[in-house]
Structures are given as C-alpha cells and as structure tokens.
Amino acid sequence: MGAYDAGSTAGAERLAGALQQGGLEAHVTPEIRPEIWKKLILNAATLPTAALTGMNAGALAAHEQMHELVSETAREATAVARALGYEIDADERVEYIHTLLERAGPTKASMLQDFEAGRQTEVDVINGAVVKAGDEAGVPVPLNRAFVALVKGWESMQGREA
C-alpha cells in the first residue's frame, strides 16, 4: 500500500502497522501506481483466459498454449505500463504470474466464477483499461482488445451488457 499521488506515506504506514498487529502481511511502497499496474497486468492476462476456457489456475499454467497466451497478454499489458513511464519488467511479471498460477492450483478466477454464475464481468476495468491506456499511449494491444470483445460477446449472449 502507499499514497496514490506522490507524497506522504504516513497514512499507509499506520494502516500497515494495524494490519501487521492483526497478524496480516502488509508492505508500504512510496510509489503505488506501478504496483497497481502489476496487479492489472496479472488480472488482464489470467482472468479472461480462465473465464473463456473454463480452466482453473493450475490448468492455465500447465496447458502449453494457454501458458503462452497468458505470457503474451502480460507482455502486451506491461508494454503499455512502460509506455506510461512505469518501470515494470515483463520477464519478472510473466514469471510471477506463472508461479502464482501453479501455486493456486485448483483455484477458480473471479471472472470464471462470474461466467459460471451468469454475472457481468469486470472486463471493462481490467482489459478495457489496458486497451484505453494502450490507445492513448500508441501501444498496440490486440490480445487485450480481443479479450474485451470475446467477454463482451459472452455478456451479450447472457443478457448482461452494460
């Protein structure tokens, strides 16, 4: 956690201290926006992939073609973050994501759970955000754009259009 705009992290430090006293792990960073982008990259690469295939985390990690799709989607989103000035290493993100998927094993992604329950997803604020930022930064994002279209198509067929 940290301050959204450059400034004091005093509030974040107080919150982290309270969480730590409660037995939870908490870290404070002076630059939170790169951390937000790291989480966005993870979600953009894994959530629609899991939802559209029905695969849990472990299956995504183990399936060769899905492994590659997750990797390339993460690299695409990382290119957008870097164009915006965030120092995020694409290789680190890809390795982190695949390690997390392997550890998560049978866990179902939230977007897959939305699909299974027939709910509208958060694709607009995940992959849609990558597409918007990519367009603004002049970075091509064909995979993220395709995921938005595919998930929106599914939502349309479910009567869940926004």
Residue 97: φ, ψ to 5°: -60, -45
The span from the CA of 130 to the CA of 77, in Å, is 6
Query: Which contiguous run of DSSP H or E holds residue 11?
Result: helix 10-21
**Shortest CA distance to 31 belongs to which of 71, 106, 86?**
86
Residue 39 annotated as catalytic: yes
Tell me the Cα Rg of the chain.
Answer: 17
For 127, which DSSP code? H
Measured from the Cβ of residue 86, the count of other Cβ atoms closer than 10 Å reads: 16
> Annotated catalytic residue: which of 39, 108, 132, 152?
39
Residues with active-site annotation: 39
